[in-house]
Amino acid sequence: MKKLNISVFISLTMVAWALSFFLISCTQDKVKKTTPEKEPLCWKDIRIGELPPEGAYDGIDSLVKKWNLCYERIETGCEVTDSITKLQGQYERSNNIYFKSLEKKLGKNWKQQFDKELHVSDSINWIKINREIDRLNP
């Protein structure tokens, strides 16, 4: 009788262990609710064409730092493809959202003021660039 009880006990223990293992391992994983990370808003300045002379972007680069803006310049080269045109549209929409958010932070006319400062800075930089070009090409 004892042999039967021990063998039944061992069998029941093994069945219980197998059943619990099966139940634990076969439960569905909890679905992870993840939201795709949103790329932070940033001014994406797409530039098409050949690269300008060295120093041509100094004005905008210094103003972006001064104004504490997120700014990314993308050089695409001379060839305009459908994907570049599509990218331009995406960047334009994204930039509009970013610029609207900056209006709340910097004021309604921040872009006009920025462009005015950029014009002055670019004028000074281009005078320097032209002098350097003239110096190199007597």
Interval 27-80: pLDDT, tens: 444 444 444 456 689 999 999 888 887 888 989 999 999 999 999 999 988 888
Amino acid 53 reads: P
Collapse the DSSP code of 72 into the 3-class scheme (helix H, G, I; strand E, B; otherwise coil) and give the result.
strand
pLDDT of residue 112: 96
Collapse the DSSP code of 117 into the 3-class scheme (helix H, G, I; strand E, B; otherwise coil) and give the result.
helix
Q: Are 103 and 43 in contact (CB under 8 A)?
A: no
Interatomic CA distance for residues 83 and 26, integer angstroms: 45
Is pLDDT larger for residue 136 or for residue 23? Answer: 136
Amino acid 103 reads: E
Question: What pTM was computed for the model?
Answer: 0.62
pLDDT of residue 93: 96
Q: Are 76 and 84 in contact (CB under 8 A)?
A: yes
As given in the structure block, the two tokens for residue 93 are 């929409």
pLDDT of residue 96: 96
Q: How distant, in Å, are the alpha carbons of 26, 27, 28, 36 from that of 31?
A: 14, 12, 8, 15
pLDDT of residue 65: 96
Environment class of 5 (CB within 10 Å of its CB; exposed 0-12, middle 13-18, buried 19+): exposed
96-136 tens-digit pLDDT:
999 999 999 999 999 999 999 999 988 887 788 788 888 88
